[in-house]
Chain A
Amino acid sequence: MSTEDGQADPGLAVTRLRDALPDAVVEVGVHRGDTTVVVAAERIVEVCRLLRDDPELRFDYLVDVTAVDWLHREPRFDVVYHLFSISRNDMLRVKIRVEDRQPVDSLAEVYMLANWGERETYDMFGINFAGHPDLRRILLPEDWEDGFPLRKDFAIGGYGIWAADNVPFR
């Protein structure tokens, strides 16, 4: 989803990213002042390392890791990373698009926050992070076998429960 705010400037980070890794950047959008960069899924670690280590960018703080399930789209999931540079006071949203069951390289080596962030994303969406040191369920019980609750085909009341409004959402 990229609703562009006219010809808004996506900012320094995107320029640098396009210079350094031109084939990794898939799409750029600016919406309500937030810059979103969609990058190739297999390049995510490389992209984040560049964003963190480049002396002009210094995105040293990974704010959050999450995902969005676009049920009938190919590929199905967006994995969303919010990055922030404390010294430059700049925010960037990096997204990758992945299929169901497609492994995503873990960012745990780059940012320590990714450990719990990716565990939650795995727990809720079933996205597999390859190379994650400890990929277990975190909010749900470890023996939970009923799937991944934030997927769109997971009914709000869970599987096998009869209720009038317990239907898969959209």
Chain B
Amino acid sequence: MSARYDIHDLQEQEMVLNMGPQHPSTHGVLRVVLNLNGENVRKAVPYIGYLHRGTEKLAEVRKYYQTLPYTDRMDYLAAPSNNLGYVQAVEKLLGIEEDVPDRARYMRVLMAELARIASHLVWLGTHALDIGALSLFLYCFRERELINDMFEKYCGARLTTSMMRVGGMPAELPEGWVQMLEDFLGIMPERIDEYENLLTENPIWIRRTQGVGVVSPEDAVSLGLTGPCVRGSGVNYDVRRARPYQVYDRLEFDVPLATEGDVFSRYQVRVAEMRQSLRILRQALDQMPEGPWVAELPDYVLPSKVDAMTSIEGQTRHFVLTIHGYKAPPGEVYKAVEGPKGELGYYIVSDGDSKAYRMHVRAPSYYNLAALPLMCENRPVQDVVAVIGSLDIVLGEVDR
């Protein structure tokens, strides 16, 4: 390499810029190789896989109940959504979906919606931080802390919750938990107003986000964008509506849509979604019946601790389920949930053993990230940061 540079040559050549894998705005370990012509991105090629842990392979050598904790580690900002997707798929495979008691279903919806709000709060804080609105990050994390406290009170963990079981939930809501949720529901609407006051009419925010990273509805569907990314382009697709699971068919909520398909639209959709989640939480809390929180299915559900410790039958069942697990009938199922990022689907193939023959995760972040080149090519380089933020990727889920 010659030590002398001619300034005119430099200006005419395309510059290759490695963005990441340690760049703070890539939300983890994403590397994007940008070919730049001056400030304009000619070509953007994402490189992923830095967090690949082989979850799908591991699921083939773990029993069904042992795979559950691995699902937390995919979308680690909304672990309950992943837990829900996985247990639903296994329940569908076993054919016990109808046996899950109502209370457990409502509890699952509560947890999944709290996870959605928590995930959107992290997205909003970091997305605004990337673009330069530093203060919002602290406000968002203040409220997310309340949700993490609720998770902690319920299951002892704040991020990697593993809080659902095949057949229901592991425990009753602890004393005081409902009050925590009531308090949260009380303060959250005005807190969302507060975020909106900081951003929605902020001229800098608008100029950085409007008309940036535009994707047409046809492209959005063909690219397989899901969640707020596809709804930001005006396509009305929400798994909670299209194929209702748990008790979403009994709850009243709107699917927020925006029309422009740009970064600002996706921002509007997510903020509106947080308000809808609060609505769902309110209804679910009011409708939630008393009763058992786990199904009466001795073949699949561990006995209660009291049973396991005091009766011989309970103890035997506990050992058998822990050591041998349960066998699933041969077949294949696909079951999806609307995670915070989009359609999170589990495809499980069983050959009749106590382990999945094949488990595949349809990760929304993975396919949403595939839209990055289309959204930021022939745009200035600073838009790449805004687009990555608006896609709301979690690299743990992209790489699995």
Which residues of A approach B to under 8 Å, CB–CB? 1, 3, 31-32, 34, 36, 60-64, 66, 68-69, 80, 82, 86, 89, 91, 93, 111-113, 115-117, 120, 124, 137-141, 149-150, 154, 156, 169
Q: Are A139 and B362 in contact (CB under 8 A)?
A: no
Say yes or no: A1-B331 contact (C-beta < 8 A), given A64-B362, A91-B243, A150-B56.
Answer: yes
Q: Are A112 and B349 in contact (CB under 8 A)?
A: no
Most central of A36, A66, A124, A169 by chain B CB within 10 Å: A66
B49 CB–A CB distance under 8 Å = yes
Q: Which residues of A lie under 8 Å from residue B195 when comparing CB positions? A: none
Chain B, residues 326-363, CB within 8 Å of chain A (1/0): the string is 00011111101000000101010101000001101010
Could you tell me which residues of chain B, from 203 to 262, have a CB within 8 Å of some CB in chain A?
A: 219, 221-224, 235-237, 242-243
Distance in angstroms from B366 CB to nearest chain A CB is: 7
Q: Which residues of B lie under 8 Å from residue A139 when comparing CB positions? A: 48-49, 52, 399-400
Most central of B52, B95, B221, B351 by chain A CB within 10 Å: B221
Q: Are B57 and A34 in contact (CB under 8 A)?
A: no
Q: Are A150 and B57 in contact (CB under 8 A)?
A: yes
Q: Could you pull out 10 A-B pairs where Cβ atoms are within 8 angstroms?
A: A1-B349, A61-B237, A66-B347, A111-B222, A112-B223, A117-B367, A120-B366, A138-B48, A139-B49, A150-B358
Q: Whole-angstrom distance between the alpha carbons of A116 and B56 in the complex? A: 17
Distance in angstroms from A111 CB to nearest chain B CB is: 6
Q: Which residues of A lie under 8 Å from residue B334 when comparing CB positions? A: 34, 63-64, 82, 91, 93
Q: Whole-angstrom distance between the alpha carbons of A85 and B60 in the complex? A: 30
Q: Whole-angstrom distance between the alpha carbons of A5 and B120 in the complex? A: 40
Q: Are A82 and B49 in contact (CB under 8 A)?
A: no
Q: Which residues of A lie under 8 Å from residue B237 when comparing CB positions? A: 61, 86
B320 CB–A CB distance under 8 Å = no
Say yes or no: A82-B370 contact (C-beta < 8 A), given A34-B334, A112-B222.
Answer: no
Q: Which residues of A lie under 8 Å from residue B176 when comparing CB positions? A: none
- Least CB separation from B93: chain A residue: A32
Q: Are A3 and B221 in contact (CB under 8 A)?
A: no
Q: Whole-angstrom distance between the alpha carbons of A117 and B61 in the complex? A: 24
Nearest 8 Cβ contacts at the A-B interface: A113-B224, A139-B49, A116-B370, A64-B362, A66-B360, A112-B222, A139-B52, A112-B223
Could you tell me which residues of chain B, from 26 to 54, have a CB within 8 Å of some CB in chain A?
A: 48-49, 52, 54
Q: Which residues of A lie under 8 Å from residue B360 when comparing CB positions? A: 64, 66, 80
Q: Which residues of A lie under 8 Å from residue B242 when comparing CB positions? A: 86, 89
Q: Whole-angstrom distance between the alpha carbons of A156 and B333 in the complex? A: 24
Q: Which residues of B lie under 8 Å from residue A111 when comparing CB positions? A: 222, 224
Q: Are B222 and A60 in contact (CB under 8 A)?
A: yes
Distance in angstroms from A32 CB to nearest chain B CB is: 5
Known contacts A31-B332, A141-B49, then 15 further A-B pairs from the complex at CB < 8 Å, ordered by chain A residue:
A1-B351, A61-B224, A64-B360, A69-B358, A80-B347, A82-B345, A86-B237, A111-B224, A112-B222, A112-B223, A115-B370, A116-B370, A138-B49, A149-B54, A156-B54
Q: Whole-angstrom distance between the alpha carbons of A64 and B347 in the complex? A: 10
Cβ 8 A contact of A31, one of B49, B57, B58, B333: B333
Q: Which residues of B lie under 8 Å from residue A154 when comparing CB positions? A: 57
Q: Whole-angstrom distance between the alpha carbons of A141 and B50 in the complex? A: 9
Q: Which residues of A lie under 8 Å from residue B336 when comparing CB positions? A: 63
Cβ 8 A contact of A169, one of B56, B60, B95, B235: B60
Say yes or no: A64-B330 contact (C-beta < 8 A), given A86-B221, A150-B57.
Answer: no
Q: Are A34 and B54 in contact (CB under 8 A)?
A: no
Q: Are B49 and A32 in contact (CB under 8 A)?
A: no
- Least CB separation from B374: chain A residue: A112
Distance in angstroms from B75 CB to nearest chain A CB is: 16
Q: Which residues of A lie under 8 Å from residue B351 when comparing CB positions? A: 1
Q: Which residues of A lie under 8 Å from residue B57 when comparing CB positions? A: 149-150, 154, 156
